[in-house]
Structure 1
Amino acid sequence: MPANLSPEYKAAEAAFRRTREPQERLVALREMLRTIPKHKGTEHLQADIKARIKALAEQLEGGTHKAGGHGGPALFVRPEGAAQVALIGAPNVGKSSLHARLTASNAHVGPYPFTTQQPQAGMLSHEDVHFQLVDLPPVAPEHPLPWLANCLQTADAALLVVDLTEPACLDQLEAVQSALAQQRVTLVEQWPDERETPAPADTDDAFALQLPTLMLANKADGIADIEGELQVLRELDGLSLRMLAVSATTGLGLGEIGPWLFRHLDIVRVYTKVPGHAADKHRPFTLRRGQTVGDVARLVHADVARALRYARVWGHSGFDGQQVGTEHVVEDGDVVELHN
């Protein structure tokens, strides 16, 4: 039976797709349930929405609900920083070692499979911007993670880690992709900086997730011809993902990850100032390219956004001190003075 979804439901679904903030996602889910046509053709979707509402509400309320209902990890990591980036990979590819090296975290690292049992968050710094890097348990057929898709819903991108020295790395990549596909998650090569318009949504599946992904070819320090090995991997793995050779042991390539994420996620840093004072250049507000002065005000405070009359801007998006309205698009490095 056709679903015949209403315009109100489609608007709620679009709001759900846009946001990564858990509380806003919960509001959108409840609106989806309220507006969905109630008939046999939507019964499965209604059940899916109800299950997601229950899990997300219990997590936000600090309840005891865990993955699979058996004391597993939380279903999401609350996003922080400029973007949330998930570390994904097969067992023993070195994800936890990379996470520890990149974030200076105290995550447990061991030379045996499934050392990581639950999501571990840490901050990866690039200049004055911080990315939240989430180390996830390994993805493998023998160790199913039924909660993984829920956890990934808040991610902006993924780093897919592969052990370049492992003869079975292609089989591992195929197993990871298959496990993700079963949970309606696809790793894609297109990043925000390459899109003139937002990527089209899969209208048949509100909860299908496409994550921009960079492949990290780990343990590359032991490879004599790194570029040659990467080329072979590109030709054989069937993925068109960009690749970066790295080593958690020697630090090879690790300094390139932060700049790469900053560039391809289209991050824009905006600094604020109050009239008569210098700008605070220590803690920028982070937005995405195309966002506006009004978005900056909302990040400062909802009350500031409601009362905002105009702003003055110094930087790339206007001449120094130019008076602009709320729809003025900001650029990286702009200083914004908000006037209520």
Structure 2
Amino acid sequence: MGINDAKLNERIAELENELKTTKYNKRTQRAVGLLKAKIANLREEKHKKASTKLAFDSFAVRKTGDATAVLVGFPSAGKSTLLNRLTGAKSAVAAYAFTTLDVIPGVLQYKKTSIQILDVPGLIEGASEGKGRGREVIAAASSADLIIVLVDALHPEQVNVMKKELYNARIRMNLRKPEVKIAKKPSGGINLTGTFTNMTKDMAVALLRELKISNADVIIRDDLSPEELIDAVEGNRKYVPGIIAVNKSDLLDAAAKERINDMIHPDIFISAEHDACVDEMKELIFTRLGFVRVYCKEAGKEADMNEPMVLRKGATIKEVCEKLHREFVKRFRFARIWGKSVKFGGQKVLKLEHKVADEDIVEVHVS
């Protein structure tokens, strides 16, 4: 680590300590917001310094299938066992830490979709700073469509460390991207409109100035926290769905499960070793990925119900056309649809912006 990196880390630590010791109230909220913005600026500088190294430190795995999920957890959380249960992949399994030394891919075939699942080396404290194989693990998580955080039932506190490492690496799990429109201008200061209950308007303006925005028209469409406004201005966060799964649940009694549930609010309790709730885990993965399976048909013929076109929630007829043929968007006339996205079977749809629903049957007509 070079001297510049050391100084950056030292300055970040100083500001974080100041943030921890500052009591939050109406009088100090502006100062707290500015501290958060300064920390964000320094972290951004660190990320830029590390970006070249990160490019060389990524795992060489070709993405396949309809989506990719990454198993993230401390060493010995049971990721390899879960991968084997979900996909039949042969990932090394042992009852000690650091068994997985490289990325192990597997494929989960479920409800006519193909989901690539990656078992990566254990995520440890300091991973976002490059500790262990942290850079590779973070890179894999950043490029995933779903993050599965696997927690050892005997160490539920580990989830907070993993959440922090992902957060510090710009990954926003299970959060919605803030709606903020920023139009920079040469002069005139900051013209800010929006709803402000999580911070004052003055605090928002101060944050924007700290983030080097001095002249701009800013529209905030959500009621944001200071952290969310910082994320929106930086604009390089990865918003990705996630699952928190407690593994080795066979070691817990009902009281322990309830205590962990109150502590970390997991999505599911499983035991990969004993194949407990693994089927429920598959369904949860499928649901969180928000798949929309569309069955295509030609006029006068039956739809092929064996091979769906797999899209994601919010997909439109335009995306269906793009997948069928690159010229179909230009040549589109209308589509006939049978399914949940229309009022009656065979309804004629004229707009490319029409959103399709899961298991719709679509017949595209082009010129």
TM-score (norm 1): 0.69
Please point out which of 203, 224, 240 is paired with 1:211.
Answer: 240
Hey, what does 2:217 align to over in structure 1? Answer: none
Please point out which of 317, 322, 329 is paired with 2:347.
Answer: 322
The CA deviation string for residues 268-319 of structure 1, in whole angstroms up to 9 with x for no partner, is 1101112232211112112233321111111223223332222111222232
Residue-pair matches, total = 270
Q: Structure 2 vs 1, CA of residues 173 and 266 (structure 1 numbering), >3 Å: closer, same or farther? A: closer
Percent sequence identity over aligned pairs: 29
The CA deviation string for residues 194-226 of structure 1, in whole angstroms up to 9 with x for no partner, is xxx9x978223333234322211111123232x
Hey, what does 1:297 align to over in structure 2? Answer: 321
Alignment of 1:118-157 (within 5 A): 118-141=102-125, 143-157=132-146
1:270 aligns with 2:294: yes
Please point out which of 295, 311, 334 is paired with 1:287.
Answer: 311
Hey, what's the Cα distance between the residues in 1 that align with 2:304 and 2:50? Answer: 44
Hey, what does 2:160 align to over in structure 1? Answer: 174
Alignment of 1:94-105 (within 5 A): 94-105=78-89
Q: Which amino acid aligns with 1:209?
A: K
Alignment of 1:27-176 (within 5 A): 66-67=56-57, 73-74=59-60, 77-141=61-125, 143-164=132-153, 166=154, 168-170=155-157, 172-176=158-162
Hey, what does 2:252 align to over in structure 1? Answer: 223
Instruction: Give how far 1:339 is off.
Output: 1.6
The CA deviation string for residues 143-175 of structure 1, in whole angstroms up to 9 with x for no partner, is 2412333322221221111111x2x441x3333
Hey, what's the Cα distance between the residues in 2 that align with 1:47 and 1:89? Answer: 24
Instruction: Give how far 1:132 is off.
Output: 2.0
Instruction: Give how far 1:119 is off.
Output: 2.4
Given that residues 311 and 336 in structure 1 are in contact (C-alpha distance below 8 angstroms), is that contact kept between their aligned partners in structure 2?
yes
Hey, what's the Cα distance between the residues in 2 that align with 1:97 and 1:256? Answer: 16
Q: Which amino acid aligns with 1:235?
A: D
Please point out which of 185, 188, 201 is paired with 2:171.
Answer: 185
Hey, what's the Cα distance between the residues in 2 that align with 1:290 and 1:211? Answer: 15
Hey, what's the Cα distance between the residues in 2 that align with 1:321 and 1:211? Answer: 35
Q: Structure 2 vs 1, CA of residues 215 and 190 (structure 1 numbering), >3 Å: closer, same or farther? A: farther
Which structure 1 residue ranges, 4+ long, deviate > 4 Å from structure 2? 44-52
Hey, what's the Cα distance between the residues in 2 that align with 1:108 and 1:273? Answer: 44
The CA deviation string for residues 98-133 of structure 1, in whole angstroms up to 9 with x for no partner, is 011101112222222112122222222322122222
Q: Which amino acid aligns with 1:269?
A: R
Q: Which amino acid aligns with 1:134?
A: L
Q: Structure 2 vs 1, CA of residues 209 and 329 (structure 1 numbering), >3 Å: closer, same or farther? A: closer
Hey, what's the Cα distance between the residues in 2 that align with 1:283 and 1:135? Answer: 27
Hey, what's the Cα distance between the residues in 2 that align with 1:211 and 1:291? Answer: 17
Please point out which of 346, 354, 358 is paired with 1:332.
Answer: 358
Hey, what does 1:8 align to over in structure 2? Answer: none
Hey, what's the Cα distance between the residues in 1 that align with 2:290 and 2:166? Answer: 26
Q: Which runs of 5+ in 1 are unaligned?
A: 1-41, 57-64, 192-196
Give SS of 1:278's match: coil
Q: Structure 2 vs 1, CA of residues 286 and 216 (structure 1 numbering), >3 Å: closer, same or farther? A: same
Hey, what's the Cα distance between the residues in 1 that align with 2:167 and 2:314? Answer: 31
Q: Structure 2 vs 1, CA of residues 304 and 182 (structure 1 numbering), >3 Å: closer, same or farther? A: same
Hey, what's the Cα distance between the residues in 2 that align with 1:269 and 1:146? Answer: 34
Given that residues 120 and 136 in structure 1 are in contact (C-alpha distance below 8 angstroms), is that contact kept between their aligned partners in structure 2?
yes
Give SS of 1:99's match: helix
Hey, what's the Cα distance between the residues in 2 that align with 1:174 and 1:46? Answer: 24
Alignment of 1:15-34 (within 5 A): none
Hey, what's the Cα distance between the residues in 1 that align with 2:132 and 2:45? Answer: 29
Instruction: Give how far 1:138 is off.
Output: 0.4
Give SS of 1:203's match: helix
Q: Which runs of 5+ in 2 are unaligned?
A: 1-40, 126-130, 178-221
Instruction: Give how far 1:97 is off.
Output: 0.6
Cα RMSD (Å): 3.2
Given that residues 142 and 171 in structure 2 are in contact (C-alpha distance below 8 angstroms), is that contact kept between their aligned partners in structure 1?
no
Q: Structure 2 vs 1, CA of residues 257 and 189 (structure 1 numbering), >3 Å: closer, same or farther? A: farther
Hey, what's the Cα distance between the residues in 2 that align with 1:138 and 1:235? Answer: 25
